[in-house]
Amino acid sequence: MPIFAREGAIIPQQPSMRYVGEKNIDVLTLDIFPGKNNSFSLYEDDGESLSYQQKNFSTTNISVSNSSQALEIKIAKPEGMYKSAVHRYSVKLHTAKKPRSVQESGKSVGQLQAVDENKNGWYFDEKGAILYITTASNNNENIQLTIQN
């Protein structure tokens, strides 16, 4: 099924659920369509109560900046009163070009043989033109991904 997304779009996704809390969210997926520099603020609350009215929510700032040498994705620690469950991030970067290297917060990230959200690393699907990156760090830390073109 085709997806029509604007250049620069950042689309967060979680496992589908029939009701809030049905599954643990261990990995949050960010579908990113690079091109224009862009940012997104991910809003989270408990999804069950009205405590957001007393400011019991958090926001996570996500930004993407693109240059001829590299693409940089910054995922900040959540800010606010609400403490979400600890989770890592899986990035699906829609790009036709295999990267020379991928770094997470200044450290080189290893290449995987297949997509595996249980292991940190990266995998490039040439046929689908998607770079998959699963972070080692979680949402308790600031994360910076650097993809060298």
Q: Is the pLDDT of residue 2 over 80?
A: no
How much is the average pLDDT of 101-113? 92
Q: Is the pLDDT of residue 27 over 80?
A: yes
What pLDDT sits at residue 138?
95
What pLDDT sits at residue 3?
75
What pLDDT sits at residue 1?
65
Residue 81 CA, distance from chain mean position: 22
Q: Are 76 and 40 in contact (CB under 8 A)?
A: no
Q: Which fold has domain 10-148?
A: Immunoglobulin-like (2.60.40)
- CB atoms near residue 124 (< 10 Å): 19
Distance between CA 29 and CA 87 in Å, rounded? 10
Which residues are registered as beta bridge partners of 17?
none
Distance between CA 33 and CA 99 in Å, rounded? 15
What pLDDT sits at residue 56?
95
Closest listed residue to residue 41, CA positions, set 57, 58, 59, 56: 59
Residue-wise pLDDT for 28-82, tens only, equals 999 999 888 999 999 999 988 999 999 999 999 999 998 888 999 999 999 999 9
What pLDDT sits at residue 21?
78
How much is the average pLDDT of 117-141? 93
Domain boundaries, the chain: 10-148
Closest listed residue to residue 94, CA positions, set 16, 13, 8, 28: 8
How much is the average pLDDT of 113-130? 90
Residue-wise pLDDT for 68-104, tens only, equals 889 999 999 999 999 988 999 999 999 988 999 999 9
Query: Which amino acid, residue 70?
Result: A
Q: Which residue has the tokens 């604007």?
A: 6
Give the Å distances, CA to CA, from 43 to 16, 55, 62, 70, 115. 17, 12, 11, 28, 27
Burial code of 102-122, b = ≥16 C-beta within 10 A, e = fewer? bbbeeeebeebeebeeeebbb
